[in-house]
Amino acid sequence: MSNNDISQRFIINDSGVRGQWTLLDSSFQTVIAKHDYPLEIQAILGEMMAAATLLTATLKFEGAMTIQARGTGVVSLLTVECTHDHKLRAIARWDGDTTAMSFRAMLGQSTLSITITPLNGERYQGVVPLDGNNLSQCLEHYFQHSEQLKTQIQLFHGNNRAGGLLLQVLPAHSGEKPDPEALKDEWDRVTSLARTLTAEELLNLDCATILYRLFHEETVQLFASEPVVFQCTCSRERTVNALIQLGKEELDSILAEQGKVDVTCQFCNERYVFDSVDVALFFQDSVVVPKPENSPLN
């Protein structure tokens, strides 16, 4: 299967603005094929996947970023996780009819959290109320308020694809402020050019063509494209660790009732099944076996 899922970084020279573009094809299709999502939920999942890919690429870290919305409406949960090397997984939980519902109506009173979990180091979480009319507005507010970084995020989906374009003031520029007026003018200029981007263009053209259409009077430095893939981080070992947390008593009662412990990963539908022998082995390592009296190890 050819991979059309790409993320690509660029800098608009002299404007103090950096950018990131992404287009998700098979990774998006893999996510929506796992569950029978209504179209409205497919749309926000796709946009959230594109957003996570764009935002992860702007950070220098090794680990994973999770964007999560918990809602009080028909949709109770939307979660997208993206690793620094562009491995994506996503899930939504809903209950009820979403036909023709808007983003706000589906989620109701809701908060949006962005969690960064580095491989080494402390977790960082920012939470904001979902107060925009769409996901990109919410994320722009988040960056304005929490990170003090001017950010424009455009997200699109359609034709079984999702994608997005992000522009952000380079952090060095927001700190130095050599001429705030000039920087603001530059920001206004490039973001108004970027706003002419259509879903049709974003979902069908490559990054270089899009950048030429939007910024043909600028010098744009385009970096190498990087592949994005759907990949779930679940494993038998991680499932065992989660089950051990439940405790032997709980697992024994599941075994007594069902004859097995059957766990399905909510992200990828992978099934992990354990019988009574497996469960007994989970707890064996923690049993201290006394050494025999005359062991040479004594």
Binding site for Zn ion (CB under 5 A): 232, 234, 265, 267-268, 270
Instruction: Enumerate the β-bridge partners of residue 91.
Output: 79
Q: Which residues make beta-bridge pairs with 100? A: none
User: 210 or 265: whose CB is closer to Zn ion?
Assistant: 265
- Smallest gap from Cβ 80 to Zn ion, in A, equals 14
User: What is the distance between the alpha carbons of residues 47 and 152, in angstroms, rounded to a whole number?
Assistant: 14
Q: How far apart are CA 265 and CA 284, in angstroms?
A: 25
d(CA 263, CA 280): 17
Residue 164 burial (C-beta neighbours within 10 Å; 0-12, 13-18, 19+): buried
For the CB of residue 267, give the shortest distance to Zn ion in the complex, in Å: 4
Would you say 139 or 232 has its CB closer to Zn ion? 232
Shortest spacing between CB 220 and Zn ion, in angstroms = 38
From the number of C-beta atoms within 10 Å of its C-beta (0-12, 13-18, 19+), residue 5 rates as buried
Output 70 or 87, the one with its CB closest to Zn ion: 87
Q: Which is nearer to Zn ion, 151 or 239 (CB)?
A: 239
Give CA 297 to chain center in angstroms. Answer: 51
For 31, counting Cβ atoms within 10 Å of its Cβ (0-12 exposed, 13-18 middle, 19+ buried), the class is: buried
CA of residue 21 relative to chain centroid, distance = 15
User: Among residues 31 and 139, whose Cβ is nearest to Zn ion?
Assistant: 31
Q: Which is nearer to Zn ion, 78 or 202 (CB)?
A: 78
Closer residue to Zn ion, CB minimum distance, 33 or 39: 33
**CA pair distance 157, 69, nearest whole angstrom:** 19
What's the half-sphere exposure (Cβ side, CA atoms, 13 Å) at 7?
24
Q: Closest approach of Cβ 89 to Zn ion, in Å?
A: 7
CB of 234 to Zn ion, least distance (A): 3
Least distance in Å: CB of 119 to Zn ion? 19
Phi, psi of 262 (to 5 degrees): -120, 115
* DSSP string across 1-32: -----EEEEEEETTTTEEEEEEEESHHHHHHH
| Burial category of 113 from C-beta neighbours within 10 Å (exposed 0-12, middle 13-18, buried 19 and up) | middle
Closest approach of Zn ion to the CB of residue 163, in Å = 24
CB nearer to Zn ion: pick between 58 and 266: 266
How near is the Cβ of 238 to Zn ion at its closest, in Å? 9
